[in-house]
Amino acid sequence: MRTQVLIVGAGPSGLLLGQLLHKAGVDAIILERQSADYVLSRIRAGVLEQVCTDLLDAAGVGARMHREGLPHTGFEIMNNGKRHRIDLLGLTGGKSVMVYGQTEVTRDLMDARKSAGLPTIYSAENVAVHDFDTAKPRVTYEKDGQSFEISCDFIAGCDGFHGVCRASVPRKSITEYEKVYPFGWLGLLSDTPPVCEELIYVNSPRGFALCSQRSQTRSRYYLQVPLSDKVEQWSDDAFWAELRLRLDEEGRSKLVTGPSIEKSIAPLRSFVTEPLRFGRMFLAGDAGHIVPPTGAKGLNLAATDVKYLSDAFIEFYQDKTEAGIDHYSERCLRRIWRGERFSWWFTQLMHTFPDEGAIASKFQQAELDYLLHSEAGLRTIAENYVGLPLDFGTAAKN
């Protein structure tokens, strides 16, 4: 087989890239090691910036998002039992975010690809990338006991943190930056109405909590827990009891509990790979960077990668220029590091760090006191939360 672009990974990054390329008349095959059902079973966050929603519209898959998603013009930060609203609309000149689960984004992209009859190969085993440092890259895999090879012009590594693409790069050609946090997020999904119409980020002496939602009838809650905790240790009753202790009186009175649909513990890390291009192979999304979920940047940074990469491929085929390809890594990394910085900063601001001593908590409370009572501080939070524009800082650089 042969294609112009071989996309490894059928998560939202790979599917969105495939859909944008299809719209521009560029051929692409998507190769995924898991089954389609497994991909859809992964529960992820779903706070989408304008850049991301615009891309979904451009890909032709935004209709259900606009119909069922929840536009949010603000969110709340709870500190010392008191809530402070971050007015995204007012502080950013009219910008907001869309709450729409990543699972639903993936489903919409899958449905669009299937309706268009585009090739997606699921349950591919022993996927390997070859010759990506030459003009003739290729990918091999096995399925149903047979071996296959696909030749291509480019390989897009959208296969996540544990994928084969980044792992195939010689160690001397890659630099990896990583920070692992000493706690995780215990998440619970339930068919219960949200405790609040907007998200609540909670700084509590007992640890961080987040009250989120997927719809008017489905809620997603998180608790900061030690990395040593196991999900089996947390019954539903224990989760709800601990969440109540971290909420204010209003939150406790409005909290509706119920059986969990899904419950898991996710570790938190900051991770960036440099560069993101290796010959004719490019990394996008979690294959190249991970952010702690506190700032809701993971899917949004991945969407930006896809925006830059799809533009580069389309320019290559339509305009016969390699300028976008040559600048892909630099353009992405500049935005990635901004997102990483905000996610790191917001994580430091909202979580407890017992090993850092009492003075760390005092510093944290002093910073929150400043930020939440300063228009400049509130604007800093709001501008970063809704997402900096794609061209932020370009004029100054040029």
Distance (Å, whole) CA 229 – CA 266: 11
Active site residue 297: yes
Q: Which of 101, 163, 121 is nearest to 32 (CA)?
A: 121
Distance (Å, whole) CA 271 – CA 291: 7
As a three-state string, the secondary structure of 7-28 is: EECCCHHHHHHHHHHHHCCCCE
Active site residue 385: yes
Distance (Å, whole) CA 109 – CA 241: 37
Distance (Å, whole) CA 336 – CA 289: 8
Residues 6+ apart with CB under 8 A from 253: none
Given 95, 263, 289, 297, the catalytic residue = 297
Given 141, 221, 328, 385, the catalytic residue = 385
- Give, for 394, the enclosing helix (H) or strand (E): helix 394-397
Q: Which of 280, 336, 335 is nearest to 313 (CA)?
A: 280
Distance (Å, whole) CA 178 – CA 387: 22
Given 263, 293, 308, 328, the catalytic residue = 293
Q: Which residue has the tokens 């209709």?
A: 63
Amino acid at residue number 343: S
Active site residue 130: no
Active site residue 370: no
* Helix, strand, coil percentages, rounded to 5, for the chain: 40, 30, 30
Q: In the numeric block, which tokens belong to residue 267? A: 């570790």
Q: 300 and 342 in contact (C-beta within 8 Å)?
A: no
Given 100, 141, 181, 201, the catalytic residue = 201
Burial zone of 290 (CB within 10 Å; 0-12 exposed, 13-18 middle, 19+ buried): buried
Active site residue 141: no
The per-residue DSSP string of 153-199 comes to: EEEEE-S-TT-HHHHTS-GGG-EEEEEEEEEEEEEEEESS--SSSS-
Residues 6+ apart with CB under 8 A from 23: 58, 59, 60
Given 72, 95, 289, 351, the catalytic residue = 72
Active site residues: 72, 201, 293, 297, 385
